Amino acid sequence: MLNTDNLSEALKKLKLASADSATDSVESCLDCLLKALAHNNADASEKVQEMGVLPMLPTLLDPQSSCTTKVANIIAEVAKNEFMRSPCVEAGLIPPLVQLLHSKDQEVLLQTGRALGNICYDSQSSKEQFASTNIAEELVRLFQKQAEHEKKEMIFEVLAPLAENDVIKLQLVEAGLVECLLDVVTHTVDGKRDEDVAQLKTASDLMVLLLLGDESMQKLFEAGKGSVFERVLSWVPSHNHQLQLAGALAIANFARNDGNCIHMVESGIVQKLLELLDRHVEEGNVTVQHAALSALRNLAIPVVNKAKMLSAGVSDTVLKFLPSEMPPVQFKLLGTLRMLIDTQADAADQLGTNAKLVERLVEWCEAKDHAGVMGESNRLLSALIRHSKSKDVVKTVIQGAGVKHLVVMATSEHMIMQNEALVALGLIAGLDLVGAEKDFVGAGLVQVLHKLLSDERTAPEIKYNSMILICALMGSEPLHKEVQGLAFIDVVSKLRSHENKTVSHQASLTEQRLTAQS
């Protein structure tokens, strides 16, 4: 049993001994400290911090010293505590640890890897410190020399948290990490051993992580001619789920700007993704479905890609996942369809008259537990109407009981959603007021509009669209009555002096309309 006095004593001795570089007494103090850390890591670490021991450690990390392994082990142990990570960086431990990566001693390498991995785990400040060292090159060089699974895993464990930093991502790409990762994939893809499966997962995950940085991603894309880009694409038709997943995620990451997206659609990637999705419809792998849909959604953002993707049959394949009960898949499915029909009237018309789809959207508009799915299905419902401007779509939405959801959407806290809802409601009122009348009354549309117009905080375009909608509702007797009952004229006449010219002009027009029909 170690009491705190013994530990304090040992730490005092350690400070003295390290100053005199008396190796034997240092060793026994280090043993005492390791015991204390094993017994109660947090308390012992706090003591280390209190007594100012960390700044003594860089001198003990000498590659020639016999106690280097123990010191690295101690650093790895204390750095398990979040409160010790910044102090480790401030004590100047990173440069000597990085130097130890040259060591031939396997035990030193193992403990150094642990120490570096723990210091940079979840810590922004240490990652920034690492970015100014040559750790990227050192680790890649070390990785290239390793044959053993354990050693590779250790390096992977240091690389993964480091690669979250965008500067280090680029350094790792420049140091040749990608080629190493592609080699690992080639050697492990057909492996049956557990360690092959583990390495394949780690290497392909790390590859995807490198693509999250804008600069590192663009460097690897090389205008779509990059060998890395080609290799990663070949993962999509693979028979291995892990590689299919990484391939689809990589495409989603490459598809972060219009230029890349346009090039990829031209190069026939969409077909590969559709084939992959087709393999995962029945009893499919949810993470693969989610990744492939994410890639399609991103590819559908540039306007020039939409028609091409629609004629390639993307919407038909995506609709096969309508029965899915998995919220992440539902969310991406909705986003993909919404991107595809943006500005595409025919597609919006075709999907908007698909009663099965509308029925499912209305169901998801009530998914209270999944705000993302609920928001996306409302937005798609509105988009089908806005982009088709079709009476048939409006009829399908009315029959599918979708109107009330658009009224609720008009009260969303997100202005963009409010606007989309109001524009869609305006089109419903313009195209089939008689058919929608009952739903408008039932959902309290007039009350919602009154509230939006009376509230000081409502954005100008929301006020503008609310007034347009009020005018459109005047053709219905029950709605007209409600408008009169709520004294809209008072609210609207106040808006005539609104600072926004479009709002004040629309207020004058609306006031004239209300007065004429009162």
pLDDT at 18: 66
- The verdict on 365 and 321 lying in the same domain is no
Distance CA 90, CA 125 (A): 10
In the prediction, which pLDDT does 333 show?
97
Express each pLDDT in 151-162 by its tens digit.
788 888 888 888
Lowest mean pLDDT among 29-43, 143-157, 362-376: 143-157
pLDDT number for residue 29? 85
Tally the C-alpha atoms within 13 A of residue 516's C-alpha that lie toward its C-beta: 9
* Amino acid, res. 460: P
Any idea which of 7-11, 219-223, 458-462 has the lowest mean pLDDT?
7-11
Assigned domain for 379 exists: yes
Surface-to-core class of residue 416, CB atoms within 10 Å of its CB (0-12 exposed, 13-18 middle, 19+ buried): exposed
**243 and 255 co-located in one domain:** yes
Domain boundary among 121, 143, 165: 143
Q: How confident is the model at residue 1 (pLDDT cuts 50, 70, 90)?
A: very low
Provide the number of structural domains found in the chain: 4
Percent above pLDDT 90 for the chain: 65
∠ CA 49-55-56, nearest 5°, is 105
Task: Tell me what percent of the residues of the chain surpass a pLDDT of 70.
Answer: 97
Lowest-pLDDT range of 69-78, 137-146, 369-378? 137-146
Give CA–CA dist 92/320, Å, rounded: 56
Assigned domain for 386 exists: yes
- Using the predicted structure, report yes or no on whether residue 209 has a pLDDT greater than 80: yes
State the residue for tokens 């459109």. Answer: 472
Copy the structure tokens of residue 477.
């007797």
91 and 130 fall within a common domain: yes
What phi and psi, each to the nearest 5 degrees, are found at residue 259? -55, -50
Distance (Å, whole) CA 126 – CA 279: 43
Mean residue pLDDT of the chain comes to 91
Q: Are residues 37 and 16 part of one domain?
A: yes
**Is 12 contained in some domain?**
yes
pLDDT at 291 over 90: yes
Same domain, 385 and 336: no
Task: Note the pLDDT of residue 48.
Answer: 87
pLDDT band at residue 17 using 50, 70 and 90 as cut-offs: low
Contact status, residue 418 vs residue 445, Cβ threshold 8 Å: no
Confidence of residue 303 (pLDDT cuts 50, 70, 90): very high
Residues 200 and 295 grouped into a single domain: yes
Q: Environment class of residue 434 by beta-carbon count within 10 Å: exposed (0-12), middle (13-18) or buried (19+)?
A: exposed
Enclosing domain of residue 232? 176-341
Place of tokens 């030193």: 108
> Tens digit of pLDDT for each residue in 380-433?
999 999 999 999 999 999 999 999 999 999 999 999 999 999 999 999 999 999
The least confident of 125-134, 184-193, 343-352 is: 125-134
Q: How confident is the model at residue 63 (pLDDT cuts 50, 70, 90)?
A: confident
Q: Quick check: 16 pLDDT over 80?
A: no
Q: Rounded CA gap, 302 and 369, in Å? A: 32
C-beta separation of 256 from 298 below 8 A: yes
Q: Where are the alpha helices (DSSP H) in 189-226?
A: 194-210, 214-221
Q: Is residue 123 part of a domain?
A: yes
Q: Which of 436, 463, 494 is the last residue of a domain?
A: 436
pLDDT, mean of residues 272-301: 94
Within-domain flag for 164: no
Question: Read out DSSP for 302-340?
Answer: SHHHHHHHHHTTHHHHHHTTTT---HHHHHHHHHHHHHH
Q: Which of 167-181, 224-238, 297-311, 476-490 has the highest mean pLDDT?
A: 297-311
Domain end, chosen from 413, 436, 459, is at 436
**pLDDT at res. 20:** 62
Lowest mean pLDDT among 153-167, 348-362, 371-385: 153-167
Are 392 and 261 part of one and the same domain?
no
**pLDDT of 154:** 82
Where residue 328 sits, what CATH number does that domain have?
1.25.10.10
Which residues are CB-neighbours of 14 under 8 A, at least 6 positions away? 26, 29, 30, 33, 53, 56
Q: Do residue 359 and residue 468 come from a single domain?
A: no
Residues 282 and 188 in one domain: yes
pLDDT at 91 > cutoff 70 = yes
User: Would you say residue 1 lies in a domain?
Assistant: yes
Task: Write b or e for each residue in 236-247: b if 16 or more Cβ atoms lie within 10 A of its Cβ, otherwise e.
Answer: bebebebbbbbb
Task: Quote the pLDDT of residue 4.
Answer: 66
Identify the H or E element spanning 109: helix 106-120
Whether 169 maps to a domain, the answer reads: no
Q: Is the pLDDT of residue 308 over 80?
A: yes
**Chain centroid, CA 90 distance in Å:** 31
- Token pair 């492996």 is found at 191
Does 396 lie in the same domain as 282?
no
- Taking residues 168-181, what's their average pLDDT? 92
pLDDT band at 121 (very low <50, low <70, confident <90, very high): confident
421 and 273 part of one domain: no
At 228 the pLDDT is: 87
Mean pLDDT is highest, among 1-5, 41-45, 66-70, 344-348, for 344-348
Tokens of 377: 């299905």
**Nearest Cα residue to 112 out of 158, 145, 153:** 158
Give domain status of residue 95, yes or no: yes
Same domain, yes or no: 192 and 205: yes
| Whether pLDDT at 31 is above 90 | no
